[in-house]
Amino acid sequence: MRTFTTALLIAALCLAGAAQAKPTAAEGRMVAAVDADRERAVDLLERLVNVNSGTLNTPGVEEVGRMVRAELEPLGFKVRWVSMKAAGRAGHLVAEHKGKAGRKRLLLIGHLDTVYEPSSPFQRFQRDPSGSWATGPGADDMKGGLVVMIEALRAMKAAGTLKDANIVIVLTGDEERPGDPISVVRKDLIEAARRSDLALEFEALVRSGGKDWGSIARRGSSHWNLKVKARSGHSGGIFNPDQGDGAAYELARILTAFRTELPEPYLTFNVGYMAAGATAALNDTETGVTATGKDNIIPGEAIAQGDLRTLSEDQLRRVRKRMREIVARSLPGAEAEISFEDSYPSMPPTDASRAILNALNRVNRDLGFAVMDELDPAKRGAGDIAFVAAIVPGLAGMGVAGSGAHAEGERVDLSSLPLQAKRAAVLMSRLTAEKR
């Protein structure tokens, strides 16, 4: 039944695109509404960026949520705040617009938080003198995407296409650093997906090689933890049968084998930090390591942690199995164990998601914009849309174009804001006008 429903969805999206040869009068009004709102949009972006909403800054995340609520309620959305303080996070904004029964139900996904906590020196929005660029914490990832979403919905309201649209919005407050357990902090997003037919995620657009790219896939992210124990003793005895090779060489063997034996398409496995010595341990916040020892002591302990990014659950299971096999081939006098922690699931490419990109490209053609090819999944990180990828087909990267995300000097291309708002407004209007 699921396969049959997906096939009908693909056919419906393709037929809808083929039937539309030029923008309708309502679509023309949407384009005009976005153009008329340009300065208001940049002003909203500046106000959002200037509120620090680092993931762990609960008051800041909540304030950004209130600012977004103030934009959505006048458009007819019923907005609620879902507290996540029990999970150590601020919470999520969930907004719902009920339209005509029997129409396709659209899920819009984004996040309110950034990677910049109050301790960061990078705190303010600053517009380039040329007026084409601006810098600011989260301007690209993803407060610019929040503005694109809001401006697209405002354009739909102005054109009369929002009235009958069934749309639910979930904006998480901890996308950059999810709370625990995942089953709790993503419960509302998953439940919203089960009531939806399609999903659009408003994280940053990828623009490279002079063109915009469409994202129908995102790699998942998980973590690995490696611990090594070995016989310690005087360094003069290393490599002999009684003492063995020590923990440092065992750690080096394992990591070298990862690098040489694991590589395959769409797979990356980073080493975040490592240490070896007479003792080696993580710090209390698991953001670093400490080691003790002397140059004449064989290291008895070693640790390393890193992440693992894969395009499918099958790839994840296969790579983890190979990593365990490598770890098991211990050097003399040493033994190691590896454990894994799940984080973000993967969003593999599907024909149903590709059909949404095809519908977006029909919008591009009708509005005179460039067609967007599929982005290589290796060029996107993990994201919240992956939590619902097994439930509904979706399209990521509906936000602004920019550069330098997660680093001081993060920039947003302000010209991409109205462009993306126009694309989103027309696409959402067409999708929500289709029968389920």
> Residue 13 has what pLDDT?
54
Provide the number of structural domains found in the chain: 2
CB 85 within 8 A of CB 91: yes
Q: Are residues 11 and 121 in the same domain?
A: yes
> Residue 6 has what pLDDT?
52
Q: Which amino acid makes up residue 334?
A: A
Given CA atoms 235, 239, 245, 248 in this order, what sign does their dihedral have?
positive
Q: Are residues 237 and 200 in the same domain?
A: no
Q: Are residues 34 and 181 in the same domain?
A: yes
Q: Are residues 234 and 314 in the same domain?
A: yes
CB 317 within 8 A of CB 331: no
Q: Are residues 179 and 275 in the same domain?
A: no
> Residue 381 has what pLDDT?
83
Q: Are residues 329 and 357 in the same domain?
A: no
pLDDT in tens, the chain (436 residues): 445 455 555 555 554 444 446 899 999 999 999 999 999 999 999 999 999 999 999 999 999 999 999 999 999 999 999 999 999 999 999 999 999 999 999 999 999 999 999 999 999 999 999 889 999 999 999 999 999 999 999 999 999 999 999 999 999 999 999 999 999 999 999 999 999 999 999 999 999 999 999 999 999 999 999 999 999 999 999 999 999 999 999 999 999 999 999 999 999 999 999 999 999 999 887 788 999 999 999 999 999 999 999 999 999 999 999 999 999 999 999 999 999 999 899 999 999 999 999 999 999 999 999 999 999 998 988 899 999 999 999 999 999 999 999 999 999 999 999 999 999 999 999 999 999 9
Measure CA of the first residue to CA of the last residue in the chain; give whole Å: 15
Last residue of a domain, one of 287, 310, 344: 344
Q: Are residues 214 and 326 in the same domain?
A: no
CATH number at residue 237: 3.30.70.360
For 263, the domain range is: 220-344
Residue keyed to tokens 């697209």:
152
Cα–Cα distance for residue pair 345/342, rounded to 1 Å:
8
Q: Are residues 44 and 156 in the same domain?
A: yes
**Beta-strand runs (E) in 122-204:** 126-127, 133-135, 166-172, 198-201
DSSP string over 275-294: EEESEEEE-TTSS-EEEE--
Q: Are residues 130 and 205 in the same domain?
A: yes
b/e per residue 267-287 (b: at least 16 CB within 10 A) = bebeeeebbbbeebebeeeee
Non-local CB neighbours of 131 within 8 Å, separated by 6+ positions: 414
- pTM of structure: 0.88
> Residue 17 has what pLDDT?
44
> Residue 10 has what pLDDT?
55
Q: Are residues 207 and 254 in the same domain?
A: no
Last residue of a domain, one of 280, 309, 344: 344
Q: Are residues 225 and 287 in the same domain?
A: yes
Q: Are residues 214 and 232 in the same domain?
A: no
Last residue of a domain, one of 344, 379, 398: 344
Q: Which of 9, 23, 19, 14 is nearest to 365 (CA)?
A: 23
**Residue 321 burial (C-beta neighbours within 10 Å; 0-12, 13-18, 19+):** exposed
Residue keyed to tokens 């200037």:
50
DSSP state of 75: G
> Residue 9 has what pLDDT?
55
